[in-house]
Structure 1
Amino acid sequence: MSMKKLIKFLISQILYYTGVVFLVEKYGPARGVLILAYHRVNDEIQDPLNMTISPRDFEIQIKYLAGHYAPIRLADLWERSTGPGPAGVVVTFDDGYADNYHLAFPILKRHGVPAVFFLAVEPIENRTSLWYDRICRSIASCRGEALDLSAFGLSEKAVANGRQRAKTAKALVLYAKKNMDRHQTEALIRYLQRHCPNGDACRSEMLTWDQVREMADAGMDFGAHTMTHAILSSLSQEEQRWEIQQSKELIEHRLSRPVHFFSYPNGEPCDYTDETISLLEAAGFHAACTLTPGDTDMSHPYALQRIGIDAAYTGYRSMGTKAVFACELAGIFDLFFKKRRYTGAAEPAAGSQK
């Protein structure tokens, strides 16, 4: 446990069990609806990208939301006003991993909490993996001292032990996300598979359409997260249109129900543009979610803010998770650490290009 997390852990236990959190929730300024963004719920995978929390932590958090907030569907966001009573909260998931069905879905049902799942459609449709998972799993299988990545304009990367491999995987994903197009990324993945041949980079960890339909029939909602998890601001208009329109149409075809909501891959202001928003509107989407932290500002429906939930919102091996989560959602740590959420609208980076 890092020093920062240890300090947060200790402060949260004091503030939660002395009742300070409840006073903040009850007497603090009226808040808007919070939208939470999850990715994976699992405790048996390596995760250099820090997108995963354990099923135990997830259940603690969902149980807390059910008892102290008012969980609502994203479609009901505009009917939920601020004021007395528990703050509204929307639970969302990005990407469409199979553990969302096996581990998160039963917990959500058990506590009566709805959620919307944003699907990256191509790996679900083709039973493959997301491009960044293929990079991470290839690197995880590497054996040797270093990888020569000079062909991709990168320096040699160390892979001698698990810590180095995790660091290299994270660095390569970030580099590919910001600097490579789809063809270059595929070339990098092929190179890694040749030099790290013992991996299972092609194994799918995504939902199946049967699982998606079962979840939808149980009251869960589904939205689009593009076809390939591409960074939209790096694409041409026609490429963006295909990623947006095709993902919507395929989900609607598979579920026989309309899709109204979208989530931007990566979700930072520089990852979409005014052109992207125009394409979303033209495709018939009602709103889109970012990963810009903050209380939701409904006056910007195509730049809805979300709080990304990761290991920073958990305790130590699930001990103390409830207190940490409660303090984080109440905004208490904003006073002490770099802010993860803040009040006010997050304006999209209009017209910005990568």
Structure 2
Amino acid sequence: MNTALNELEHLSLGVMAQVLLHSQALPLQAWRTAEHINQALGTAARHAWVVRRWLAALTRAGLLHEEGKRLGWQVPPDDPQVGELPRLYATLGFPDSMARLHTQVIECLPDLLRDQFTLTHLLMLGGDPVKVMGTYQHNHFTAAINQALGARARQVSAAAGPLQVLELGGGAGCTTATVLTALQEREKDYRFTDISSLFTSAAQRQFRLEPGMQFGLLDLNRRFSDQGIAPRSQDLVIAGNALHNARDLPDCLGQIRTSLRDGGALLFSESIADNPAMLTFMHLLLSPPADAPLRAGDEAFMAVDAWRQALQVAGFELLEVWPDAGEPLAAAGQRLFQARGV
């Protein structure tokens, strides 16, 4: 499985190189700054961070060489074998549609970076938007993370009465389904939330027969108590690959801590590093809207030590990070974090 992951990353680096070469944003034998490359490519300001992350990934892989602020090709890149995507994604446990979607995005990458149309628009053309948006969560790595999250959720005790559960950024409901299975024998009040009614409505259709379920909108960037979440009301807060969407993470973690009782549990999954494949695909969704402020920095994800520090400042004790760096599942760059409010 990790061999396929490495092949996918290598292929995706080739896609980045192909875009830069074919657009003449960074020709062979040329030396250019990241700013010049984005200008030559015609990148929209909100997506400029994506191209800079490409350049960082290509440099780490030894394909680019940096002198001062200028970059040039160190090794002529191989042409990406895009036709291998179906085999690679199947090996990693993704549905067939993942390879088709990624292939379509690769074909349109220059136009997407220039904001001639958006990735959201392209994904919507693929059918049911909730199913399409959830496609990339259906894989062996994320399934293992969700199973581990569900197992730890089962161990959380209620302060009194039913277990009070708040899910943040529930999205397509992949984490939800696993946690509900883990808690099926427990009496619970489970509140599924997302910033989009598209996802809360879909979740209500999917999980409406589950006892104790509630559904509602919640914006990670607003005070939780203004959105119906009373202070110290929750035994467990979960978030599957959602917290990186917070514009002010310290404030968001503070809101989560306020919503939890003392000793309450926070379980969340996050990527801890860039993924070259997703940098040519779903990470375009992490760019801010066209009318919003630009990203404060290029790093979309935080390393484990940065999470540990952020959690401690917000009033949490980090109990566990899974899997360990040496385990095969760690290769995908996803981690499960278990923390307790102190």
Q: TM-score, normalised by structure 1?
A: 0.25
Specify which structure has the higher proportion of strand. 2
| Higher relative contact order (Cα pairs below 8 Å, separated by 6+ residues) | 1
